């Protein structure tokens, strides 16, 4: 079998969430962070006939890059990655020893919804890197939702804000805090839903990829 560039890019993204991965039978790939505060799943064009456990996903991807036009033959104990001249025999790990998501997330009722495009996502990450901040504050504003890169421990610190199209219950007051370090999503446009139970759901507009990201406990929500 071959792996598409799209699938390889997803695996590169998933390596930032968890260094190891368990790929089950079928065409769905999932991952979850070691702290279990970030979970993602997506459907890919490939169909896997058996469960594959990879301990060091970055190392595996590096091995793939050593072969110019890689084809993959999966055995019980290893994956053979090869083309007409090169080959890598990459040994698999016991899935029971690796971190995997298990059941899908049962998303609770959501109160806040907004859109997040790639440019806005990039701007937020750039601002966080520039100021050295870790948090994004999500608040209501007139007719929209305000996303602000802030130092939540310093009321007089610099703030970068950008308003995005969104909805929430009339009269609701909230301040959801999202840690930038958990915002490990591929560069696509997203529909974002947030629950007062302190969990967010990012659904890609370009693919089947979705992420569930926990919010910080300092987040607040007051309904009508």
**pLDDT single digits (tens) 62-113:** 999 999 999 999 999 999 999 989 999 999 999 999 999 988 889 999 999 9
Same domain, 19 and 81: yes
Same domain, 134 and 90: no
Domain assignment present for 105: no
Same domain, 120 and 210: yes
Say which residues have a Cβ less than 8 Å from residue 91's Cβ, sequence separation at least 6: 77, 78
Domain assignment present for 207: yes
Q: What is the DSSP string of 67-118?
A: SSS-EEEE-SSEEEEE-SS-EEEEE---GGGS----SPP------EEEEE-H
pLDDT band at 224 (very low <50, low <70, confident <90, very high): low
Q: What token pair was written down for 220?
A: 């607040």
Going by their DSSP bridges, the two strands 173-179 and 220-222 should be labelled as: antiparallel
Whether this model's pTM surpasses 0.85: yes
Domain assignment present for 65: yes
Domain assignment present for 103: no
The reported pLDDT for the residue numbered 155 is 86
Same domain, 125 and 172: yes
The reported pLDDT for the residue numbered 65 is 95
Domain membership of residue 186 as a residue range: 112-222
Say which residues have a Cβ less than 8 Å from residue 218's Cβ, sequence separation at least 6: 152, 177
Q: In CATH, what number is assigned to the domain containing residue 146?
A: 3.70.10.10
Domain assignment present for 107: no
Domain count, the chain: 2
Same domain, 197 and 136: yes
Among residues 33, 68, 97, the one where a domain terminates is 97
Same domain, 93 and 117: no
From residue 60, alpha-carbon distances to 13, 57, 153 in Å are 13, 5, 40
Same domain, 122 and 158: yes
Among 94, 135, 125, 92, smallest CA distance to 16 is for: 125
How far, rounded to the nearest angstrom, does the alpha carbon of residue 220 sit from its chain's CA centroid?
A: 23
- Average pLDDT of the residues in 33-37: 94
Same domain, 128 and 85: no
Same domain, 88 and 156: no
């Amino acid at each position: 079998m071959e792996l598409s560039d799209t699938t390889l890019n997803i695996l590169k993204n998933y390596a930032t969430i968890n260094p190891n991965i368990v790929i089950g039978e079928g065409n769905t790939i999932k991952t979850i962070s070691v702290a279990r505060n970030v979970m993602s799943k997506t459907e890919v064009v490939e169909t896997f006939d058996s469960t594959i456990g990879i301990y060091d996903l970055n190392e595996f991807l590096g091995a793939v890059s050593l072969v110019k036009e890689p084809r993959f033959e999966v055995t019980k104990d290893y994956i053979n990655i090869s083309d007409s001249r090169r080959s890598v025999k990459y040994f698999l790990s016991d899935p029971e020893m690796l971190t995997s998501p298990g059941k899908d997330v049962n998303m609770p009722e959501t109160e806040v919804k907004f859109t997040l495009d790639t440019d806005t996502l990039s701007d937020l990450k750039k601002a966080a890197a520039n100021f050295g901040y870790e948090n994004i504050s999500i608040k209501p504003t007139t007719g929209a939702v305000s996303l602000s890169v802030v130092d939540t421990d310093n009321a007089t610190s610099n703030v970068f804000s950008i308003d995005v199209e969104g909805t929430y219950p009339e009269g609701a007051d909230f301040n959801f805090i999202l840690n930038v370090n958990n915002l490990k999503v591929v560069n696509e446009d997203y529909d974002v839903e947030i629950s007062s139970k302190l969990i967010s759901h990012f659904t890609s507009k370009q693919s089947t990829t979705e992420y569930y990201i926990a919010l910080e406990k300092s987040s607040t929500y007051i309904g009508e």
